[in-house]
Structure 1
Amino acid sequence: MPGVRQSHVKVRTGCQQCKQRRIKCDERRPAPCANCVRSKKECTGYPPPPRSARSSEEVKIAPKPLVAMAPSAPPPNREPVQLPPRRLAKMQRRASPPGALITPTTPLAATSLVYHPSIDLPFSHQEGQYFHLFREHTANELSGFFDSAFWTRSVLQECHTADAIRHAVVALGALYKTLEKSNESPTNSPHPDSDPGDSAMRHWEMAVKQYSHACNALTNAGATASTSNRTRLMSSVLLACFDSFVGDHKQAIRQIQTGLALLEKLRAEKRQAFLSSSDEPVEEELTQMFTRLAIQAKSYDMAFHFPQPWVVQLTTNQPPLDPSSPTSEAGSPIGISQDSIPERFTSVMEARLAWDKLCERIFRFTEIMFNYAKSNIMGVLPTSLKHYGVSFKKDIEAWSDAFEHILASRTAPGVSSQEKAAIAVLKMFQTMGKILFLMTFSDSEMHFDGFAHLFKGIVDLALEVVGDEERRAAAKRCPDPALCRHRNHCRTDIFGGHEYAAHHIKPSFSADLGIVPPLYVVATKCREPHIRRQAIQLLRSSARREGMWDSELTARIGTWIAEIEEEDVNLFEGGYGNTIPTPDASPVQTHSRPPTVADTPQSIAHSDLEQGNWENGASPAASSTRTSFSSHSGQPQKLIPIPEEKRVMVRAVEFDLRTRSAVIQLGSRNIKTGTPDLKTKVTRINW
């Protein structure tokens, strides 16, 4: 009816100024919103998020655990938490001078590491507890599989001078406590002896309140000298970490974009001042953090194909390169220094830094390559970029050769469990990077079959990491296996026909990437059924969120793709079954329709850079059958490849980790934008 206002859901977020004016805010926290800037009004900051969730509701800040603790479990231990031995050793190494001998200690020694906040830190008693928790536990968890002085030293030091950093640290400590409490007992089943003030909801409320204070501290500071560029960059890292933790990936990308823009601005100012281009405007530690955040955001975009403005750009908007002058600065696809790969890495950290730099160069190159693809016929690249692509393959192989002795040493006596895991994870990333980069030059999903041995290598390394973590967790949580209450709902496994499940690993969050992205690639691109199912089960074996990567979401995407591709297909001679372990979830509705999401093509094909030229041996498409071992019988069977017409790829994923829902669109590889795709399938999943 004319004159009737359309109903809308009332928005309760946004800055204070926009709420008073009753207009929609773009919520560019911590930056002032566009409305305030445009109307030249003072943006007074953002209020804390509303306490819309009741105490009986679930705080969804991590992947859903595979198995919840039984209701009959005893009440949680209220005694002080002792650091695990590997965390204790890690902190002792940092506290000791270089070359000092570390004497092994018992877990009881952890009680001597009690930290008392400095008197000049304006904490309330409750805030001080969260700060203490961050220092003792959260900083180490955020580091992931690699040591990081950024979290355990630099951030803590900055708390003394920067209000925004101090509030962000308290927020992350409270968030870590929320995750811990939300997994102590089943939802809606509080123990009668529990403290209402120690509930997940109370910690959650403190977390979002402190997050809001951190945003407002930056907003209110404006462009004054009271907030240094170093503080702003560090705040972007911490706020992006918080947003990833709670599942708000769009806001995390905003924070990363804000930090990268500031870093590029500072670099431009140094260039204009005729300073050395090798000198960074901030310390190397912060530059490394933003390199990893950029890699994380780009990997997310490449996997799920976000639309603008949720795409992180590493290259500046400049006219197309001149292929006739590839050596000039304007024609170079990479805007950063290119360090050569040594013959042998001297440490895991040296290898990690070299891989980060190589990844950033590859991502910069692919950005420019896709810009060419938009204005050229699909599958045709300038000759200069084809040759440059070959140089990346040489660098990837050189890195692998330099890392080989470290990879072989991971099982040697004296190598800590954390270092062993870091070595395995780093090799997983190098293997994944090699596969994805080489396949950037292919227009056929069939060519992924040539990497079956590399897919298996990723799964084997991930099994090492998860297996070691499960054994440590089982020894800590259930020292007497006869009294273990964590073995409910066991699944028959496909790891050699034996039962395998990580029953004791708790849900976790890390700011750094780990096993989830490589296993996602295996789950979606490997068509060998056993390897693919192993990757899916490893993703579901422990509830992980690594940066913006969620293990449960990736496992369910891999499961659905396998169902689509293997439907009505006998994978083995003799009709071996294609059953996929399907997670407990609401029904999946699948339908086909013309594509509605236009995204950047993922692959660029050309005639003279086929897969056979990258790898030794024939092109995988030339082989009609392969050999695989059935985990049920242990006997070799001929594996019949999934035909090209059945294979699909992810075209777009729209999801909300906070509500645990996603809309996934699949389609063909190498379809020109605007061309109808007959393979398009769309589904919505909830978990």
Structure 2
Amino acid sequence: MTQQTLIIRERPPIIRALNNNLGEELSFHAFDYYRGHVSHQVGDTVDSDFWGNLVLRLAPTDPAIRHAISAISLMYAEKTKDTRDPFPNYRPAIVEYNKAISAVRSWPLATESRVKPLLVCLLFVCIEFMLGHEHQNAAKMHILQGRRLLANIQDRKTPETDIIRQYLAPIYLRLAYVGNDRVNFPRHLLQMTTAPLKFASLADARCVLYYLVDIGFTLIYDVKSYRSNGVSESPNTEGEALQSRYKHIAHDLANWRHAFEAYLAFSDLDRPDTRTAKLLTQRHCLMLVFLDSMVSGSDYVCDRNSLSEFSIAADCATFTVKYDNEIMQGPSFTFESEVVGPVYWIAAKCRQPAIRRRALELLYEREKANRVESLTIVKHTIAMAKRVIEIEEEGLEIPKGTRPIQDYPNKYEVLLREESSEWAEGFLTDQKEQWPVLWDLGSHCSDIPTKLTGIAAAREQKELSEGLAKGWPRERLVWPYGITRERRVLSVVVKKHTANDLWLEYVREPLTAGGDYRVMKEHIQFI
């Protein structure tokens, strides 16, 4: 059986080791379990050389790497037990993690190697991901440290730089969705940053796509900063520069799609590689929508010209979930963000009833399969998506043949709900510090409340008037499916969370032009 499959292999006797105080023998069992099992499961098939080759080759060179591997193995075994314990025993793994941290502290201050620190940071990120969402800040810290190390590496042709370029830099690039601190990514550490006429491999296609996603994130943060300082209706140099950057990224994303389609047309992919291709297509489609909505500052974008992208992304997620359900046996964990976050965003932002319900159903299927993706908690994500749909569709007559949202399993109850027209001064800070809303292209928020909202509304009204004058039906022009501006949820902020409780804030449009944004607060408890 090759490393390219995701089939769960028979597990070595790691669980027995967990139940005994074996000292060094425990570490040996954990390392053996990593080599025989975890390295094949924790990443994507494209990364099999990293988890199953580079990590194992470098393990003998430093105790920090060895102890981190042991911690990952012990935690993976506990996290993927067939009987899900609400209070898993991570104590042996934490012991190994602390040993790894102690080993790092013993490094000389002026260590010459860049590969070891970069690798250890990634292993620590994996550990923090498995520890859960409460540890997101520690994960952010390790990612930021790694990206700062990368930013200081000069463009030289050395064996160490080749290792970084081939194995490490692409993973740091894909972690751009965690945290808000931006560190420019050095292009010389990536094997490829522009799309050719046809990609030669999935790895090349993924590298270019995530480079575009990364610079897209940088643009989005710059747009948010620009808006937070106030936006005027008259053109200005900074606004025009941001629009120019957006057009350039959109053009590069279009070129990526052409090169990727050409690669697929000439490739006979097996099912694991088809799964990877579907995930890349899903990310590309949603990045197009996300960038457009963020730069335009309008939720209208998600209805006007994005239905095709939402539909394709949902189909890709459907393939991935179905494939995983067929192949995987029992609970599993992946370092990657795969479908949970993107599918949540489809459910929250695509108002086409059938597509958003299909997205919600995929979340239920993912929960049933007990597959954990990076920092996600699927039951929390389901509750958030379902509540957004319930709020936006409340009192509406749904299309015939559409399943009522109330018919979907309800594993929570709303204990407290209050609405306020007050606008919290700390909203921008809240947005920056919130728990990741768990899709790897950013937060749920499509707009930060500024003067730009009024400008966008005026533009939409102008488009509506022009369309009506041409004889187009009103429902085809703006706010389709009956979900008008005042119904919409602009953003969901997780204020606090535990395993069984969520405290959410929903940011909604004003009821009157120029009015205050509405903030609705809820305490949700899982049954």
Give TM-score, length-normalised by structure 2.
0.78
Does structure 1 residue 156 correspond to structure 2 residue 56?
Answer: yes
Whole-Å separation in 1 of the counterparts to 2:515 and 2:105: 46
Contact 1:406 1:423 in 2 (8 A): no
Deviations along 1:502-555, one digit per CA (max 9) or x if unpaired, are xxxx33221122112221210110111221111112112123332223333222
Instruction: Return closer, same or farther for 1:582/1:339 CA change in 2, 3 Å cut-off.
Output: same
Contact 1:296 1:547 in 2 (8 A): no
- What SS does structure 2 have at the residue aligned with 1:143? coil
- What SS does structure 2 have at the residue aligned with 1:131? helix
Does structure 1 residue 291 correspond to structure 2 residue 167?
Answer: no
**Alignment partner for residue 314 of structure 1, among 183, 190, 193?**
183
**Matching residue of 1:440:** 294
Deviation at 1:660, TM superposition (A): 4.5
- What SS does structure 2 have at the residue aligned with 1:160? helix
Contact 1:653 1:664 in 2 (8 A): yes
**Matching residue of 1:398:** 255
Instruction: Return closer, same or farther for 1:553/1:153 CA change in 2, 3 Å cut-off.
Output: same
Deviations along 1:396-423, one digit per CA (max 9) or x if unpaired, are 111111112445678x5xx322111111
5 Å matches for 1:599-618?
599=428, 602-603=446-447
User: Which residue type is aligned with residue 286 of structure 1?
Assistant: L
Instruction: Return closer, same or farther for 1:452/1:651 CA change in 2, 3 Å cut-off.
Output: same
Deviation at 1:447, TM superposition (A): 2.6
Deviation at 1:240, TM superposition (A): 1.1
| Greater fraction of residues in helix | 2
**Matching residue of 2:419:** 592
Whole-Å separation in 2 of the counterparts to 1:111 and 1:373: 53
Instruction: Return closer, same or farther for 1:576/1:551 CA change in 2, 3 Å cut-off.
Output: closer
Larger radius of gyration: 1
Whole-Å separation in 2 of the counterparts to 1:610 and 1:132: 61
**Matching residue of 1:461:** 316
Whole-Å separation in 2 of the counterparts to 1:583 and 1:146: 37
User: Which residue type is aligned with residue 391 of structure 1?
Assistant: H
Contact 2:126 2:335 in 1 (8 A): yes
Deviations along 1:273-330, one digit per CA (max 9) or x if unpaired, are xx699x959721222221112x2315xxxxxxxxxxxx322259xxxxxxxxxxxxxx
Deviation at 1:438, TM superposition (A): 1.1
Whole-Å separation in 1 of the counterparts to 2:510 and 2:517: 13
**Matching residue of 2:349:** 525
Does structure 1 residue 208 correspond to structure 2 residue 90?
Answer: no
**Matching residue of 2:274:** 420
Farther-moved stretch of structure 1 (596-605 vs 138-147)? 596-605
**Alignment partner for residue 680 of structure 1, among 509, 519, 525?**
519
Contact 2:289 2:301 in 1 (8 A): no
**Matching residue of 1:625:** 475
Supply the RMSD in Å over aligned alpha carbons.
4.0
Whole-Å separation in 1 of the counterparts to 2:39 and 2:312: 30
5 Å matches for 1:160-309?
160-181=60-81, 184-185=82-83, 201=88, 204-221=90-107, 223=109, 225=111, 228-247=113-132, 248-264=135-151, 266-267=152-153, 270=154, 283-284=164-165, 285-293=167-175, 295-298=176-179
Whole-Å separation in 1 of the counterparts to 2:402 and 2:50: 54
Whole-Å separation in 2 of the counterparts to 1:370 and 1:458: 26
**Matching residue of 2:439:** none
- What SS does structure 2 have at the residue aligned with 1:685? strand
- What SS does structure 1 have at the residue aligned with 2:61? coil
**Matching residue of 1:546:** 373
Contact 2:333 2:374 in 1 (8 A): yes
- What SS does structure 1 have at the residue aligned with 2:60? coil
Instruction: Return closer, same or farther for 1:128/1:684 CA change in 2, 3 Å cut-off.
Output: same
Contact 2:297 2:447 in 1 (8 A): yes
Instruction: Return closer, same or farther for 1:201/1:398 CA change in 2, 3 Å cut-off.
Output: closer
Whole-Å separation in 1 of the counterparts to 2:113 and 2:494: 37
Instruction: Return closer, same or farther for 1:205/1:346 CA change in 2, 3 Å cut-off.
Output: same
Contact 2:148 2:183 in 1 (8 A): no
5 Å matches for 1:133-144?
133-144=33-44
Contact 2:505 2:520 in 1 (8 A): yes
Deviation at 1:243, TM superposition (A): 0.7
User: Which residue type is aligned with residue 603 of structure 1?
Assistant: D
Deviation at 1:388, TM superposition (A): 2.1
Give TM-score, length-normalised by structure 1.
0.61
User: Which residue type is aligned with residue 274 of structure 2?
Assistant: K
Does structure 1 residue 384 correspond to structure 2 residue 241?
Answer: yes
User: Which residue type is aligned with residue 534 of structure 1?
Assistant: R
Instruction: Return closer, same or farther for 1:578/1:283 CA change in 2, 3 Å cut-off.
Output: closer
Instruction: Return closer, same or farther for 1:136/1:336 CA change in 2, 3 Å cut-off.
Output: closer
Does structure 1 residue 642 correspond to structure 2 residue 483?
Answer: yes
- What SS does structure 2 have at the residue aligned with 1:559? helix
Deviation at 1:394, TM superposition (A): 1.1
**Matching residue of 1:509:** 333
State the identity %: 20
Whole-Å separation in 2 of the counterparts to 1:261 and 1:370: 23
**Matching residue of 1:48:** none
Instruction: Return closer, same or farther for 1:276/1:362 CA change in 2, 3 Å cut-off.
Output: farther
Deviation at 1:160, TM superposition (A): 0.4
Whole-Å separation in 2 of the counterparts to 1:250 and 1:375: 27
In structure 2, the gaps of 5 or more residues are: 13-21, 432-444, 462-466
- What SS does structure 1 have at the residue aligned with 2:80? helix
**Alignment partner for residue 570 of structure 1, among 397, 422, 441?**
397
**Matching residue of 2:209:** 355
Whole-Å separation in 2 of the counterparts to 1:334 and 1:472: 37
Count residues with an aligned counterpart: 473
- What SS does structure 2 have at the residue aligned with 1:440? helix
Instruction: Return closer, same or farther for 1:575/1:539 CA change in 2, 3 Å cut-off.
Output: closer
Instruction: Return closer, same or farther for 1:289/1:447 CA change in 2, 3 Å cut-off.
Output: closer
Does structure 1 residue 452 correspond to structure 2 residue 352?
Answer: no
Does structure 1 residue 561 correspond to structure 2 residue 398?
Answer: no
